[in-house]
């Protein structure tokens, strides 16, 4: 923390915690320092912000493994709001921190039964199942969640990750396609969908991957991963049994992608000290990484020979 905690008054500490809440910053270590040194004995002076501060301290205490502090704050809030679903959620998080996962799941189930539109306990349930390694159950729970909250982009991202962990690439691709409907101009979503399609293999998937890599590069010309992916897809198409026109187009696109990769890597790679001292420029095509790349994917030249032969 930039300021000295010992020199701060309770109002300064309160204002600082308020700023972090407004800025959505956790700063768990700093929050615990302010609580221990300033605010724990000045709770009565916090007024209407007292409960917000207690909630903030609960999250910080769990982050810092200060279980006793978290239990103390939860007990204070539970006594004042005995039927609150919000406080019940904090109790489930406390149980989760204590690795009492079954008890935490029971608490979350109670919250869900009382309020089916509450998204937070459903997400916590998925997180606990994932922590326990119960991926299949986490997928089922998250699918049920997505049927209710279809516009949750974070949910689609997480479901995609779970499917990838299980090797369900077609279903993972479906999740990314859903994300494209929400955010069609994100080069990262296009890139990830292309990665999945490329991993699935087969000429049809390679063609789809090439299309999305092209879109990713169009949206962000500095996306090197998309340029590498585009180069690889074109190499596969050149060496496939596709029609001559498609292979010629892929050959030109691959050469363009390689040119873009070379121009960007040569601009960002610093010159070695020996070259700088001698005043000599680096020879063209001398970048070791690019040479390795061209050698590794030399099959592109094979595709070129096939095109010329036809």
- Does a structural domain hold residue 59? yes
Which range, of 8-12, 39-43, 264-268, averages the lowest pLDDT?
Answer: 264-268
- Does a structural domain hold residue 117? no
- Does a structural domain hold residue 123? no
- Does a structural domain hold residue 279? no
- Does a structural domain hold residue 21? yes
- Does a structural domain hold residue 16? yes
Residue 308, pLDDT score: 44
Number of domains observed in the structure of the chain? 1
- Does a structural domain hold residue 14? yes
pTM for the structure as a whole: 0.75
Contact 38, 16 (CB under 8 A): no
Residue 269, pLDDT score: 54
Residue 250, pLDDT score: 85
- Does a structural domain hold residue 181? no
Domain of residue 54, residue span: 8-82
> Per residue in 74-100, pLDDT tens?
999 988 888 888 888 999 999 888 888
If one compares 162 and 309, the residue with the highest pLDDT of the two is 162
pLDDT averaged over every residue in the chain: 82
251 pLDDT more than 90? no
> Per residue in 144-188, pLDDT tens?
999 988 888 999 999 999 999 999 999 999 999 999 999 999 999
């Amino acid at each position: 923390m930039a300021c000295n905690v010992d020199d701060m008054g309770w109002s300064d500490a309160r204002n600082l915690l308020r700023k972090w809440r407004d800025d959505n910053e956790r700063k768990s270590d700093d929050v615990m320092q302010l609580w221990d040194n300033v605010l724990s004995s000045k709770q009565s002076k916090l007024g209407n912000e007292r409960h917000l501060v207690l909630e903030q301290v609960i999250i910080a205490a769990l982050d810092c493994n200060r279980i006793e502090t978290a239990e103390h704050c939860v007990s204070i809030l539970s006594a004042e709001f005995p039927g609150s679903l919000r406080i019940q959620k904090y109790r489930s998080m406390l149980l989760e921190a204590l690795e009492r996962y079954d008890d935490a799941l029971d608490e979350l189930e109670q919250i869900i039964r009382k309020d089916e539109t509450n998204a937070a306990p459903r997400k916590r349930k998925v997180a606990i199942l994932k922590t326990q390694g119960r991926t299949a159950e986490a997928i089922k729970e998250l699918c049920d969640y997505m049927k209710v909250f279809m516009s949750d982009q974070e949910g689609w991202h997480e479901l995609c990750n779970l499917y990838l962990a299980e090797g369900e690439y077609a279903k993972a691709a479906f999740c990314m396609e859903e994300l494209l409907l929400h955010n069609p101009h994100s080069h990262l979503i296009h890139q990830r969908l292309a990665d999945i399609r490329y991993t699935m293999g087969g000429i049809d998937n390679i063609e789809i991957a090439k299309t999305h890599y092209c879109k990713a590069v169009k949206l962000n010309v500095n996306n090197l991963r998309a340029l590498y992916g585009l180069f690889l897809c074109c190499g596969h198409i050149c060496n496939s049994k596709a029609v001559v026109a498609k292979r010629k187009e892929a050959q030109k696109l691959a050469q363009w992608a390689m040119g873009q990769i070379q121009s960007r890597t040569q601009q960002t790679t610093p010159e070695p000290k020996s070259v700088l001292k001698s005043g000599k420029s680096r020879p063209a095509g001398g970048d070791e990484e690019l040479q390795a790349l061209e050698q590794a994917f030399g099959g592109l030249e094979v595709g070129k020979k096939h095109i010329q032969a036809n």
